[in-house]
Amino acid sequence: MLLYQCSLFKQKGGQVALKRRIIPFITAVFAVIAAVPLLYLAYSQPTRLTIAVGPADSYDSHLIDAIALRLQNRREAVQLKVIYTNGSAASSEALDSGKVDLAVIRGDLPKQPNAGLVITLHRDPVIFLTAIDSGIKNISDIKGRRIGVIRTRIAESDALSVNTLLLKTILEYYALDEKNVTIVPVLLNDAAKAFEDRRIDVIFSVGPSTEPTLSRIVAGLSAAIPYKPVQEENAEDSEDEPKLKGNPDKKKGKAKVKSTKKEEKAASIFIPISEPDAIIVKNPLLVKDEIVRGVFSGIPPTPPDAIPTLSVTHSIAANNNLSDSVIADLARSIIKLKPVLARETKLAGSIEVPSSDKNAAMPLHPGAAAYIDNEEQTFFDKYGDMVYILATLLGVLGSGFAALLSRWSSNSRSAALENIESSVSLVSEVRLANTIELVDAIELKADQLVEKVVRNAVQAHLNHTDLASFNISINHVRQALNDKRRHLIWNLKPDTTG
C-alpha cells in the first residue's frame, strides 16, 4: 500500500518538480524573446547631437536648419539640435569647451586639437572688386586706397573681425598694412552706393559666389562695358574698314583682337591674388581656389577667365570623443541628402566630403575617414569579440550551473537513501525494546521516516526501486512493532492460574 501511495506521490511529485524546473526555463525564454525587440528598439533609437552655428540668420545657419529638418523627417540614425552662436569663432569655442558635440567652423580659424572634420559645407572664395577706371590691376596697387570689408548685417561683428584678419594676412604678403591702406566696414547692401559715393575704392568679400547682392554689384561694376556679340563686332569692323578682296584674315583677326580687349576690361573689375601658393605656405589654413569663368554672368561671361584666388572652407567639425560609427552615419546621411537640399538652397550643392590628406591643416574625424575610405565597421566587426566572450562566459556559467545542480541532486538522493537505511536499523531497536513506551517511541520514528520518504518521493529524489526497498523495510518494522507490543502486553497480564 505504501509503495502504491508513494508511487502516486512520486508521479505527482515528478510533475510538480518538472513544472518547477520548466517554469523558470520558460520564463527565461520569454524574457529573452521580450528583450530582443527592446534591445533592437534601444539600438535603433536616433543619436541626438548638438551643433553650434552662427549667426542665427547666416547662410550656414539656414543650411544647418535645412539639414536638421531633413534628418528628423527621414528619421535618420543621427539627428541634430541646433545651438545658435554669434559666429564661427564662438561656435569653435563652444566645441573646444565641450558645450556642443559639433560646430560649423571656418577653415582659416585656428584648428581645434580635439576635433576632426566631418563634412565640408561650402567654400567661400576671396573676391577683390574695383571699378573699371580705378587703375587698380594688382593687390599691390591698393596702396593708399580704401578697402570696404563686406558684412551682411550690422550686428555681424564676428564675421567682420575674421574677414578683416584674413584681409590683413593677404595684405601682409604684399607688404601692405593699415598704415598705407584704409579698411572700411561696409554692409553688403550698401556696397554699390559706397562705390558711387567714392567712400571705397575696393570691395573685399568672403562669401558664396551665389550671393544675389554680390552678383548685382558685379553686374553694376561691369555695366560700363558695352557688350555685343562677336558677329556684330565683325559687322561694325567691316563697315569701318575698306573692303579688301583676298584679305579676309586681316578683318577676322582684327575683330578677335577687339573682343579680347573687351574681355580684358571685364576682367579688370576683379583683382587677382596672383601668388596663392606662396600665401598658403605661410598660412596653411587657406585653400587655393579660383573664381570660375562666367560664375556671375553668362552673357558676357563674368569674369571672362578664371581668376586665381584663395578660399576658406565652412565645415562641420566633431569632437573626437564621439563614436566613429555615429559620425560615419552623420556624414553618410548628409551626403545622401545633398540632392534634396540642393533643390531648396543653392549653397547645398557645394556640400562635399573633406580631403582625406593626412597632411591637411585639420584632420578628419576617424568616423568620417572610415566613411570616406569605405572602412566602416559592421555590428560584428565592432562587437564580435564581445559576443564571443559573452557566449563563452554563458557556456562556462551554464556548465557550472549544471555541475552544481547535479551535485545538489546527488546530495538530495544520498539524504533520501539514508532514510531508507534508517528504517532498517529500527528493527534492531524494536527487538531491544522492553517497555510499551519504547515501542511507541520507535513507532513514532517510523512514522517520521515515512513522512520524509514521501516528501523525497514528491521531490523526485527516489526511484521505484528505492521506494520498493523502503516499503519492504517499513513493513518489516511495523510487523516487528506489532509483535513486540503483543509480547509486552501478554507479559504484563496478571497470573490467574494459582
Q: For every one of its 498 residues, what pLDDT tens digit does the chain have, with 9 covering 90 and above?
A: 544 455 544 455 444 454 555 566 566 666 666 666 666 565 568 899 999 998 888 889 999 999 999 999 999 989 999 999 988 889 999 999 999 999 999 988 887 788 999 999 999 999 999 988 888 999 999 999 999 998 765 444 555 578 898 999 999 999 999 899 999 998 888 888 888 888 999 999 998 888 888 888 888 887 654 434 434 444 444 444 444 444 444 444 444 444 455 555 555 789 999 999 999 998 888 999 999 998 888 778 888 899 999 999 999 999 999 999 999 999 999 999 999 999 988 899 999 999 877 777 788 999 999 898 886 655 555 656 666 776 777 677 667 666 665 665 565 556 656 767 777 777 778 778 888 888 888 888 888 878 777 776 666 556 677 677 777 777 878 888 888 888 888 876 665 554
Cα separation of 442 and 74, whole Å?
83
Q: CA 301, 307, 308: angle at the middle one, nearest 5?
A: 160
DSSP assignment of 190-230 = GHHHHHHTTS-SEEEEES-TT-HHHHHHHHHHHTTS----H
Cell of 228: 555685343
User: Taking Cα atoms as reference points, which of 453, 443, 378 lies closest to residue 421?
Assistant: 453
CATH topology of domain 123-312: D-Maltodextrin-Binding Protein; domain 2 (3.40.190)
CA 96 to chain CA centroid, Å, is: 18
Cα separation of 443 and 428, whole Å?
13
Beta carbons of 441 and 432 less than 8 angstroms apart: no
| CATH superfamily for domain 46-122+314-378 | Periplasmic binding protein-like II (3.40.190.10)
Cell of 129: 572688386
User: Taking Cα atoms as reference points, which of 175, 145, 179, 177 lies closest to residue 164?
Assistant: 177
Predicted model pTM? 0.65
232: left (phi over 0), alpha (psi -120 to 50) or beta: alpha
What are the residue ranges of CATH 3.40.190.10 in the chain? 46-122+314-378, 123-312
First vs last C-alpha separation in the chain: 46
